[in-house]
Amino acid sequence: MDDLAYRSIAAYEQAKDQASAQPEAFWEAIANQFEWHQKWDKTLEYDFHKPEVKWFFGGKLNITENCLDRHLKTQPNQTAIIFEPNDPKETAQHISYEELHSRVCRVANMLKAHGAKKGDRICLYMPMVPELAISVLACARIGAIHSVVFAGFSAAALAARINDADCAMLVTADGGFRGAKVTPLKAIADEALTHCTSIKTSIVLKRTGQEVAWNDIDVWWHEALAEVDDHCPAEIMDSEDPLFILYTSGSTGKPKGMVHTCGGYMVYTAYSFQNVFQYEKGDVYWCTADIGWITGHSYIVYGPLAVGATTVMFEGVPSYPECDRFWEVCAKHKVNQFYTAPTAIRALQKHPVDLVSKHDLSTLKVLGSVGEPINAEAWHWYDNHVGKNNCPIVDTWWQTETGGILISSLAGVTPQKPTYATLPMPGVQAVLLDNEGNELADENEGILAIKYPWPSIARTIWGDHERYKNVYFSAYPGYYFPGDGALRDAKGNYRITGRVDDVVIVSGHNLGTAPIENALNEHPNVVESAVVGFPHDVKGNALYAFVIAKNVVADHEALIAALRALVAQTIGPIAKPDRIQVVSGLPKTRSGKIMRRILRKLAAGEYDQLGDVSTLLNPEVVEEIKRNS
């Protein structure tokens, strides 16, 4: 495969021009670099009003042949995955492309031996160990649709996702190591499965060695694997067959199962990986995300492997055993590209800088940021102390729904600007809209929208195409609406200002406020609740819950503790509100709609920006909330 990256500003400009003049020819040339069993009949078919998007339609391929088999001819001994365990005393693993290919084929055969077939949904609820990446690829090998559920999610959240996709199989582990904690994954999965009927087999990887309960459907990974060999021809897939489902929260209670398909997703993740990070053969690249999020799917597994890169997988957390773990690992594995989230940077920035400076970070060439807007202070700390003012920073804007990075600078090729994601990638047509859906020109602020498809756009929400249409294509007909606001400078650089809907990004995690409210409302003593985000110096945003109690409670602290536990149990610990205030009422319009805008101001302590509250049904509660906050 040729180098997919534009290595100079001239090459970039040329690509940008071609992409806007002849978008289909532009993407065809990129798609032609991959191995297809059969070339496509139609490059693009789309209608944002329907909505419908098809890329490389009629093409036949298997993404794992592009991520694995193809590299065996040219670089079988190249390291594909470097696994850095949670415990630094445990030996790191280097898995070559040849070994990865063999292990993926073997696991693929294990899945098949237990009944998995093309089109089945397989839920993966696993720690960040190589077997997770291998399971992802094994599903893709046999044409099964993987649905990875982040191992920090609760039993209830896991059950809801298994049931929504009607998964036939679960792959999990006895437990997972994360910092000083051990998560009892098998026990959580067992609890989840009491609410699920579709799972016929549950394969259990031994990771921690802890005691686990055993059920009829359970199979040990190592025992099942011993029964199969590593010869597994790839299932030939249509370009538009689903590759995976990944859930992301929405503004109503139910998570949205975003569906990505084989051909377009492969082309776009490889293209964006290579261009944004300017990866060069032999470099060591590390993305610190979890494979349970889209960042891990696209930029730990598929994008890097599609271009034959060496990708680091880290099991642990930045603060274990000490708060210099990231820098220690960068030095240990001689990392060249490092990709993390602003929330991690802000947390690490609080510690003495010698925790960074004592490590040799001289191999670093590129730094990346993802998940939320990066504030100026964090940007400069990252630039000064980690990059030593010598590494371009790519601030990458994208979503679960977009599959890959849509707005970012290309490291060292296009100009960076602190706090700006900068320019759309060649082939991505971003615009700013006003509230009426008119395109805004020049320097401006408005609603971010995309007016032409790119190959990795999610094709639907699993089982609910109507919702897909309503959420992304109805507010501004003819455009894809991501739900973010942005401003644009005179040079066309975008700065993402944040969500314009009811999703709050906490420590880089996209949390819908509605499911959290639903969880709070489950408590017998809660009448109603409203959850909003407020600025937090480490997490970016934190959650503030306003709760109306049924009975006048003497002990607010006990109720608050119970509510936090309830949210952790229903959704997961990351969704626990930082603040919970018991109130006698919520500010409402006369038609009964909660005024979240006012709650956001109250949560942020911006009392002088409340605006006119006299039109409220109950203006007195605003005073009460202020008094008791």
* Contacts to ligand 7RM by CB under 6 A: 248, 293-295, 370-373, 395-400, 421, 482-484, 496, 499, 505, 510
The residue to which tokens 């320019």 are assigned: 423
Q: What is the 3 state secondary structure string of 475-512?
A: CCCCCECCCEEEEECCCCCEEEEEECCCEEEECCEEEE
Question: What's the min distance (Å) between Cβ of 298 and ligand 7RM?
Answer: 8
Compute the least distance from the CB of residue 328 to ligand 7RM, in Å: 26
Q: CB 588 → ligand 7RM: shortest distance, Å?
A: 27
Distance between terminal CA atoms of the chain? 60
Residue with tokens 């089945």: 120
* Smallest separation, CB 166 to ligand 7RM (Å): 23
Closest by Cα among 57, 66, 6 to 264: 57
Closest CB 511 distance from ligand 7RM, rounded Å: 9
Which is nearer to ligand 7RM, 225 or 344 (by Cβ)?
A: 344
Q: Which is nearer to ligand 7RM, 370 or 549 (CB)?
A: 370
CB 188 within 8 Å of CB 174: no
Residue 221, Cα to own-chain centre: how many angstroms? 27
**C-alpha 584: how far from its chain's center?**
37
Query: HEC profile for 372-418?
Result: CCCCHHHHHHHHHHHCCCCCCEEEEECCCCCCCCCECCCCCCCCCEC
Closer to ligand 7RM by Cβ: residue 496 or 532: 496
- Cβ neighbours of residue 174 closer than 8 Å, sequence gap 6 or more: 184, 185, 186, 204, 205, 206, 207, 208, 209, 210, 212
- Please, which residue, 398 or 472, has the CB nearer to ligand 7RM? 398
In the numeric block, the tokens 């391929």 are attached to: 61
* Minimum CB distance to ligand 7RM, residue 398 (Å): 5
- Nearer residue to ligand 7RM within complex by CB, 284 or 370: 370
Q: Which residue has the tokens 């970016």?
A: 540
Q: How far is the CB of 414 from ligand 7RM (least distance, A)?
A: 15
Compute the distance between CA of residue 307 and CA of residue 287 in angstroms, rounded to an integer.
Answer: 15
Residue among 201 and 298 whose Cβ is closer to ligand 7RM: 298
Whole-Å CA distances, 487 to 375, 410, 420, 484: 15, 20, 9, 10
Nearest to 108, CA basis, from 237, 238, 229, 202: 229
In the bound state with ligand 7RM, the residue whose beta carbon lies nearer, of 95 and 516, is 516
Would you say 184 or 498 has its CB closer to ligand 7RM? 498
Residue 393: CB minimum distance to ligand 7RM, A: 11
Amino acid at 537: D
Nearest distance from residue 345's CB to ligand 7RM, in Å?
Answer: 12
Measured from the CB atom, the residue of 221 and 398 that comes closer to ligand 7RM is 398
